[in-house]
Amino acid sequence: MEPKVTVLTLGVRSLEISRRFYVEGLGWKPLVEVEGEVIFIQVAGGQVLALWSVDELAREAGSVGHSAKAPPIAIGHNVDSAGEVAAVLKEAVAAGATLIRKAGATDWGGTNGYFADPDGFRWEVAHNSGFRVTADGRVHMGPTTD
Amino acid sequence: MEPKVTVLTLGVRSLEISRRFYVEGLGWKPLVEVEGEVIFIQVAGGQVLALWSVDELAREAGSVGHSAKAPPIAIGHNVDSAGEVAAVLKEAVAAGATLIRKAGATDWGGTNGYFADPDGFRWEVAHNSGFRVTADGRVHMGPTTD
């Protein structure tokens, strides 16, 4: 099995509310949308984010679901400068996100902050000067100094 | 905010157990590994999977955590033929995964199956003839017929 992720499916409580945040709020254009069913948005080379009802997901994938705590994942979104972290968090909050951690220095030398989407899914907005992507899509990670 | 995911962080209960599954079991080579801290593996163009302690994640990202139900996400892994779905599921189980749904036809015209990693994170192994990626990393989605 190759190390490859082609789809990241978020099981959401309400597709309508997710659509309002991601499509109308953030302005992300769906690659494919089946109204009331599923929304696909490209988010990396060869990869789409899928917004799908958590109840439908559970019918396929067994006992998955939301709980009192937010899901134990973080979806990272790197930006090109430390200053952009606060700006992107502000944009997300304006689109309906909840601010979880404001922009600040990290112990790994970069800058980050977190917001939660309508289902609590955590997004980390980060500047990491050691994270570089070459034209072929390869990631290179080295020392970070903001 | 651009539609872009650069890091998918899974908050895991034990990095050692996750390492045993992903690195030793599946044979995925870390791009960067900080022993006992974090493991990064490239999984898409411009994107890495991060395996990180869920307790550490919760210190940054607020109240996130595992519950009685598995996390409400699915991590999709597309393969090139319907026959490969069962083969990849078998490989994952041999590496320590739990089979959740064996390979079979889907209502969208493709073939899929699910396994769970040691923390219950669902991976969907799928063949979708309508999902194509061009050389520039762009995803194209059309009708599916397996």
- Tell me whether residues A116 and B45 touch, CB distance under 8 A: no
C-beta atoms of B60 and A9 within 8 A: no
Nearest-CB residue to A26 (from B1, B44, B48): B1
**pTM, to two decimals:** 0.97
Whether residues A124 and B60 touch (CB distance < 8 A) is answered with yes
Q: Which of B15, B108, B29, B110 is nearest to A4 (CA)?
A: B29
Minimal C-alpha gap between A3 and chain B (Å): 5
Cα separation values, B138 from A36, A41, B142, Å: 25, 11, 13
The verdict on a CB contact (< 8 Å) between B47 and A48 is: no
**Distance of alpha carbon A100 from alpha carbon B40, whole angstroms:** 24
Mark yes or no for CB contact B76/A5 under 8 Å: yes
Min Cα–Cα distance to chain A from B10, Å:
5
Among B49, B73, B125, B136, the strongest candidate for a mutation testing the A interface, having the largest count of A CBs within 10 A, is B73
Whole-angstrom Cα distance, residue A83 to residue B1? 14
Record: fold of B73-146: 2,3-Dihydroxybiphenyl 1,2-Dioxygenase; domain 1 (3.10.180)
Task: Show me where the domains of chain B are located.
Answer: 1-61, 73-146
A41-91 tens-digit pLDDT: 999 999 999 999 999 999 999 999 999 999 999 999 999 999 999 999 999
Cα atoms found within 13 Å of the Cα of residue B44, Cβ hemisphere only = 28
Task: Tell which CATH architecture fits domain A71-146.
Answer: Roll (3.10)
| Cα distances (Å, whole numbers) of residue B139 to A31, A39, A52, A77, B78 | 8, 14, 18, 19, 12
pLDDT tens, chain B, 146 aa long: 999 999 999 999 999 999 999 999 999 999 999 999 999 999 999 999 999 999 999 999 999 999 999 999 999 999 999 999 999 999 999 999 999 999 999 999 999 999 999 999 999 999 999 999 999 999 999 988 77
Type of residue numbered A83: G
Tell me the DSSP string of B113-140. Answer: EEEE-TT--EEEEEE-TTEEE-TTS-EE
CA distances from B27 to B24, B94, B143 (A): 5, 12, 33
Q: Measured at the alpha carbon of residue A6, what is the angle toward residues B26 and A121, in degrees to the nearest 5?
A: 95
Cβ of B119 within 8 Å of Cβ of A91? The answer is: no
Q: Cβ B9–A42 below 8 Å, yes or no? A: no
Q: Quote the ipTM score.
A: 0.98
Closest CA to B40 of A81, A139, A7: A139
Name the residue among B40, B44, B64 with its Cβ closest to that of A44.
B44
For domain A1-61, give the CATH number.
Answer: 3.10.180.10
B26 vs A1, A119, A133: nearest CB: A1
Residues of A in contact with B32 (CB under 8 A): 141
Is A71-146 the same fold as A1-61? yes
Rounded to a whole number of angstroms, the distance from the CA of A36 to the nearest CA of chain B is: 15
